[in-house]
Amino acid sequence: MNTSEENIAAMVRKVVTRTMGERPRRPIVNEQTISDLSPDSIHTIPTGAIVTPLARQIALERKIKLIEEEQATLGQNPSIEHIPDTGQTSRFSGSGSNANQPVVALGADHGGYDMKEKLKGVVAAAGYGIIDCGTHSPESVDYPDFAYAVARTVANGQAWRGIIVDGAGIGSCMVANKVPGIRAAMCYDQATVVNSREHNNANVLTLGAGLIGQNLAGQLVQTWLATEFGGGRHGRRVDKIDAIGDRYMKKSGG
C-alpha cells in the first residue's frame, strides 16, 4: 500500500471512530484483514462489525465475499410464517410473535424488489413483524407509490419503522419525507445508518439496490434497527425538524 492509500485508510479509521463516539467498541474489518485473505474466497465477519470502505473495495477487487456471522447461519429462515394478503399489504411474522412485537414496513419498486424480499429474513431474524407494502413482483412500477405506502404506514402508527428499496434510494427518500411525521434517511454504509438513528432519529431507511450489495444491505438494516436515538442536544434538533413540518401542515390546513 503506498503512502497516499495509507493516509486515506487512516482518515477512514478516524472518521469511523469519531462517528461511533463512545458507543461500545465494534470489531473493525480493515484493508489489512481483507488483503490477507485468498482471492475468490468467502470471509465471515463478526456480527455488527464495521467494514471500512477501503476494505470493501479490496474485497470487491479480489472477489472476496463478506458474510456476517448471523447471516451465514440465517439461510431461508424457515420459521417465517406467511400470512395472506389483506388488501394492500401482506404481513409476515417470526415464530413466537405477539401483539406487542414491533412491526417494520417494507417496500420497494421493481429495482429493489429482490433486495426487499431477502431483507424480510433479516428483519424477521431480528425479532420484528413485517408489513410488506409491495411491490410483489419484478415488473416495472413507479417508486413513489410504494415509498408513500411505507411512509404512510409508519406515520399512522401501523409500523414502528419503515425500510424502502429502489435503484438509488434517493427518490424514495424524497417521497417519504413529504409525509408529515417521517424522517427518512438514505444510507449506504455503517457510519450513515448509525448517524441517522443516533443524531436524527430516522424512522424510515431508504437503500439503493443499484449502489450496495445484498450482504451490506443486511448489515445496514441490522445496525439501523438496533441503534438507539442519542437524545440530548440531538433531541432539540429533531424537534426543530418536526416543527418545520408542523408549520407547513398548519398553513395547508392539514
Alpha carbons 11 and 70: distance in angstroms, whole number: 29
Is there a cis peptide before residue 223, judged by omega within 30 degrees of 0? no
Pairing state of beta strands 50-51 and 81-86? unpaired
The span from the CA of 150 to the CA of 143, in Å, is 11
Does 82 participate in catalysis according to the annotation?
no
> Please, are residues 155 and 184 in contact by the beta-carbon 8 Å criterion?
no
Query: Residue 233 corresponds to which cell in the numbers above?
Result: 442536544
The one catalytic residue in 43, 136, 199, 234 is: 199
Which sequence positions are flagged as catalytic?
199
